[in-house]
Amino acid sequence: MNFLRDTKKRYRVKAEDEKAEWFAKRTMMHISLVQKYLQRIQMLGLPEIDKGLLEEEMEHDASKWREPEYEPYIHTSWRYRQKRLGLDYELPEAMDDKMNEATFHHIKNNRHHPEYWDDTVTIDCINQANRDKPSGRQKVDATGMPLTYIGSMMADWLAMSEEKSTNVEDWIRGNVNVRWEFTPPQVALMHRIAKEVKCDEGKSLRSESAYCGSRRMARVP
């Protein structure tokens, strides 16, 4: 796809050190997984889904390659990697705040995130200690999120489930109407997609020799 090809071009320019290289590799892998699940959702032929709009969602996470997201997300992805390996990572000074600001910028500027659809949401919606958990301070009103973008969100969630070898239904149960408020039709569509679009067995990040230690990674062609 043109977007992934263009992303690879960005990678050649931006991957100047190990952390940036890991960010580029991991982000491109995530984009390719999201695109795979977007295609599978398209193939369902659901009347609630606008195929044209869903096709536009193939350009996933493009904002991560630009500031104010690019540098903070390099450190975010590296910290997740180090945590998975049982290693500590000391952030540069003031980077933690920049990471929170970058996360908020990202979720407010990408339609596959529920926060995009809530005009009242603030940075308090982010759990700054653990971005994968509800903040407990602010519940996001996602009831205005169109069903097509529910489909795009599900492609993102399915991609993360494959990457982390987790169950997307568990994620739905732990976050829907807890972290984000949705309507019954929105929730029904989530469960239908989760049921009909099978998540592939997660292996993307389980092999450290294949995906970590970025100096061992094959260069993008």
> Would you state the pLDDT for residue 97?
94
- Statement: residue 33 has pLDDT above 70: yes
> Would you state the pLDDT for residue 3?
52
- Kindly write down the DSSP assignment for every residue of 72-83, as one continuous string: HHHHHHHHHHHH
- In tens, the pLDDT along 133-150 reads 888 889 999 999 999 999
Nearest to 22 by CA among 85, 91, 74: 74
- 85 φ/ψ sector (left φ>0, alpha ψ -120 to 50, else beta): alpha
Higher-confidence position of 211 and 66: 66
Nearest to 173 by CA among 165, 162, 164, 182: 182
- In tens, the pLDDT along 183-202 reads 999 999 999 999 999 899 76
> In the numeric block, which tokens belong to residue 200?
């592939």
Q: In angstroms, how far apart are the furthest CA atoms of the chain?
A: 49
Q: Helices in the chain by DSSP H: which ranges?
A: 2-14, 18-43, 51-56, 70-84, 95-108, 147-164, 168-175, 184-196, 208-211
pLDDT band at residue 7 using 50, 70 and 90 as cut-offs: low
Amino acid at residue number 204: S
- In tens, the pLDDT along 38-58 reads 999 999 999 999 999 999 999
pTM recorded for the entire structure: 0.85
- In tens, the pLDDT along 118-132 reads 999 999 999 888 878
DSSP H or E stretch at residue 181:
strand 180-181
